[in-house]
């Protein structure tokens, strides 16, 4: 797409005349829309392949820890689930994969068109406008696409796992939220790490764009092999990379970090409240995962703020 945009801009004189702007923007809009539609098509094709692979993998891995063999969701069930499941947030508010890609494409087309319009209006030369568009497409938009695609991958994995859990609800009725143990984890994922949710009503990752959280199923006791698993999970704290027990939650792990690390992760005031034991991590967010402001926290917990 970047090359096509450059090729079209190269057809213009050194200084684009205002009367030529309308035709130029029509062509740029068309080129940009086709480029983002191609991205949407490629992602959509990969989504189903990823979902089918993830479903097989999830069923196999879960079966190895149980006394039963789990069923894999059908392709039609996966297609239906992926077509309606909201990417982030509450159903009916957050967009689906298709809606997310469409909205992203439309906003980026508008951004490219606006950059060219601004250049022409301010008398910027065509070569300089081309350099601006190159930078816009190759850096900012590419990073945003990468973030969007990584969120879509997490979403596909999460939806597929949930469908696998539902397909086998005779054996699975709950799941555990698992967040990343490092300083970049968001408040909502900090609070949810280690929480057990009912399959029918609990939240699923991604909790936000760029979310790295996942889930693991809780097998009904009568079907569990009964192993007292002593596995580990990776973490990256104040002392660097370290493997910790799978039973360690984000809250428990964070308490083992130094003050500077906790201050950086939570902010100074929330760090003070957390380290003093005045508020737990789940108190920093509302039931939907939205982060309370310090003023809201003080209004709900006036005593701990007066200490």
**Cα–Cα distance between 214 and 161 in angstroms, integer?**
9
pLDDT for 89 equals 57
Cα dihedral 38, 40, 41, 47 sign: positive
Cα dihedral 282, 288, 294, 298 sign: negative
Best CA proximity match to 26, nearest among 86, 113, 84: 113
The residue ranking higher by pLDDT, 225 or 242, is 242
* pLDDT, averaged across the chain: 88
User: Per the structure, how many domains does the chain have?
Assistant: 1
Whether 277 is covered by a domain: the verdict is: no
pLDDT for 302 equals 85
pLDDT tens digits for 119-146?
888 888 888 989 898 888 888 888 888 8
**Cα–Cα distance between 65 and 69 in angstroms, integer?**
10
Q: What does pTM read for this prediction?
A: 0.84
The residue ranking higher by pLDDT, 250 or 137, is 250
pLDDT for 93 equals 59
Whether 111 is covered by a domain: the verdict is: yes
Whether 183 is covered by a domain: the verdict is: no
Whether 130 is covered by a domain: the verdict is: yes
Q: Which residues of 22-32 are buried (b: 16+ CB within 10 A; e: fewer)?
A: eebbeebeebb
Q: What percentage of residues in the chain have a pLDDT greater than 70?
A: 94
Structural domain boundaries, residue 125: 1-168
pLDDT for 19 equals 67
pLDDT for 231 equals 82
Q: Above 80 in pLDDT, residue 292?
A: yes
- What pairing do the DSSP bridges indicate for beta strands 232-237 and 196-198? unpaired
Whether 278 is covered by a domain: the verdict is: no
Q: Above 90 in pLDDT, residue 26?
A: no
**Cα–Cα distance between 234 and 245 in angstroms, integer?**
9
The residue ranking higher by pLDDT, 118 or 228, is 118
Q: Under a CB-based contact definition with an 8 Å cutoff, are residues 51 and 78 in contact? A: yes
Whether 197 is covered by a domain: the verdict is: no
Q: Under a CB-based contact definition with an 8 Å cutoff, are residues 164 and 70 in contact? A: yes
Round to the nearest angstrom and report the end-to-end CA distance of the chain. 58
pLDDT tens digits for 44-97?
888 989 999 999 988 888 887 777 788 899 999 999 999 988 887 545 557 888
Q: Under a CB-based contact definition with an 8 Å cutoff, are residues 87 and 97 in contact? A: yes
């Amino acid at each position: 797409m970047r090359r096509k945009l450059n090729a079209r801009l190269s057809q213009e004189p050194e200084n684009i005349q205002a009367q030529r702007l309308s035709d130029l923007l029509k062509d740029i809009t068309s080129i940009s829309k086709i480029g983002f539609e191609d991205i949407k098509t490629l992602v959509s094709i990969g989504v189903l392949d990823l979902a089918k692979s993830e479903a097989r993998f999830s069923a196999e891995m879960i079966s190895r820890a149980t006394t039963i063999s789990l069923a894999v969701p059908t392709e039609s069930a996966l297609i239906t689930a992926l077509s309606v499941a909201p990417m982030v947030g509450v159903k009916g508010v957050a967009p689906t994969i298709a809606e997310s890609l469409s909205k992203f494409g439309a906003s980026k087309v508008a951004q490219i068109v606006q950059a060219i319009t601004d250049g022409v209006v301010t008398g910027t030369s065509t070569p300089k406008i081309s350099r601006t568009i190159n930078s816009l497409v190759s850096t900012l938009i590419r990073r945003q696409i990468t973030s969007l695609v990584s969120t879509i991958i997490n979403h596909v994995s999460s939806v597929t796992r949930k469908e696998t859990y539902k397909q086998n609800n005779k054996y699975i009725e709950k799941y555990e939220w698992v967040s990343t143990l490092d300083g970049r984890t968001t408040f909502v994922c900090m609070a949810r790490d280690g929480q057990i949710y009912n399959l029918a009503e609990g939240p699923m990752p991604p909790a936000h764009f760029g979310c790295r959280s996942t889930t693991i199923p809780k097998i009904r006791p009568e079907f569990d092999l009964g192993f007292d698993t002593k596995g580990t999970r990776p973490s990256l704290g104040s002392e660097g990379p370290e493997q910790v027990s799978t039973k360690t939650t984000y809250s428990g792990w964070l308490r083992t970090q130094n003050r500077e690390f906790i201050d950086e992760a939570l902010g100074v005031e929330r760090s003070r409240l957390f380290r003093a034991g005045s508020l737990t991590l789940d108190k920093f967010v509302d039931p939907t995962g939205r982060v309370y402001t310090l003023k809201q926290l003080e209004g709900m917990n006036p005593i701990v703020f007066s200490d």
